[in-house]
Structure 1
Amino acid sequence: MSERIREKLQILADAAKYDVSCSSSGSNRKNHNKGLGDTGNGICHTYTEDGRCVSLLKILLTNFCIYDCAYCVTRKSNDIKRTAFTVEEVVDLTISFYRRNYIEGLFLSSGIFKNADYTMERLVRVAKKLRTEHKFNGYIHLKSIPGASDELMHEAGLYADRLSVNIEIPTEQGLKLLAPDKDRKDMIQPMNYLKEEIIQNREEKKLFKKAPIFAPAGQSTQMIIGASKESDKDIMFTANNFYRNFNLKRVYYSGYVPISNDSRLPGLSSAVPTIRENRLYQTDWLLRFYGFKVQEILTNEHPNLDLDIDPKLGWALRNLQHFPIDINKADLQLILRVPGIGLQSANRIVEARKFQRLNWEHLKKIGVALNRARYFITCNSSQFERKTYSESQIKQFILASSQSKYLKSVTPQLSLF
Structure 2
Amino acid sequence: MNTLEKLSILADAAKYDASCASSGAGKRHSLGKGGGVGSTEGMGICHSYTPDGRCVSLLKILLTNFCIYDCAYCVNRVSSNVRRARFATDEVVRLTLDFYKRNYIEGLFLSSGIIRSGDYTMEQLVEVARCLREDHQFRGYIHLKTIPEASPELLAAAGRYADRLSINVELPTESGLGALAPEKSARGIRGAMGQLRWRIDESKDARRAKTPTRAKPPRFAPAGQSTQMIVGADGADDRDVLDASVALYGNYRLRRVYYSAFSPIPDASKVLPLKAPPLVREHRLYQADWLLRFYGFEVDEIAPRTPAGAAMLDLEVDPKLAWALRHPECFPVDLNTAPKERLLRVPGLGTRNVKRILAARRHGALRLDDLARLRSPLRKLLPFVQVADHHPRGALDRPDRLRAQLAPSPRQAGLFG
TM-score, length of structure 1 as denominator length: 0.91
**How do residues 160-179 of structure 1 correspond to structure 2 at under 5 angstroms?**
160-179=162-181
Q: Distance in 2 between matches of 1:314 and 1:350?
A: 25
Aligned partner of 1:11 in structure 2 is 9
Structure 1 gap segments, 5+ residues each: 47-52, 408-417
SS of residue paired to 1:34: coil
CA RMSD between the two structures: 2.0
Q: Distance in 1 between matches of 2:363 and 2:28?
A: 42
Which is worse superposed, 288-297 or 258-267? 258-267
Aligned partner of 1:188 in structure 2 is 190
Say if 2:385 is the partner of 1:346. no
CA contact (8 A) 1:30 1:40 kept: no
Q: Match for 2:334 among 293, 311, 326?
A: 326
Aligned partner of 1:214 in structure 2 is 220
Q: Match for 1:61 among 39, 60, 63?
A: 63
SS of residue paired to 1:142: strand
Q: Distance in 1 between matches of 2:311 and 2:255?
A: 25
* Per-residue deviation, 1:387: 3.6
Say if 2:139 is the partner of 1:137. yes
**How do residues 294-373 of structure 1 correspond to structure 2 at under 5 angstroms?**
294-301=299-306, 303-373=311-381
Q: Residue by residue, what CA displacement relative to the aligned partner does 1:347-381 show, whole Å, maximum 9, x if unpaired?
A: 10010000010011101102222111111111100
Q: Which amino acid aligns with 1:13?
A: A
Higher RCO (CA < 8 A, seq sep 6+): 2
Q: Match for 1:282 among 287, 292, 298?
A: 287
Distance 1:44 1:172, change over 3 A: farther
* Per-residue deviation, 1:41: 2.1
CA contact (8 A) 2:47 2:104 kept: no
Aligned partner of 1:228 in structure 2 is 234
Question: Percent of aligned positions with the same letter in both sequences?
Answer: 49
CA contact (8 A) 2:37 2:139 kept: yes
CA contact (8 A) 1:220 1:250 kept: yes
SS of residue paired to 1:175: helix
Aligned partner of 2:104 in structure 1 is 102
Distance 1:156 1:356, change over 3 A: same
Q: Distance in 2 between matches of 1:189 and 1:388?
A: 48
Aligned partner of 1:375 in structure 2 is 383
Q: Which amino acid aligns with 2:228?
A: Q
Q: Which amino acid aligns with 1:38?
A: S
Aligned partner of 1:412 in structure 2 is none
> 4+ residue runs of structure 1 moved beyond 4 angstroms?
42-46, 383-386, 402-407
Q: Distance in 1 between matches of 2:97 and 2:361?
A: 52
CA contact (8 A) 2:396 2:402 kept: no
CA contact (8 A) 1:44 1:58 kept: no
Q: Distance in 2 between matches of 1:274 and 1:44?
A: 25
Q: Distance in 2 between matches of 1:403 and 1:241?
A: 35
SS of residue paired to 1:203: helix
Q: Residue by residue, what CA displacement relative to the aligned partner does 1:126-147 show, whole Å, maximum 9, x if unpaired?
A: 0000000000000000000121
Aligned partner of 1:264 in structure 2 is 271
Structure 2 gap segments, 5+ residues each: 49-54
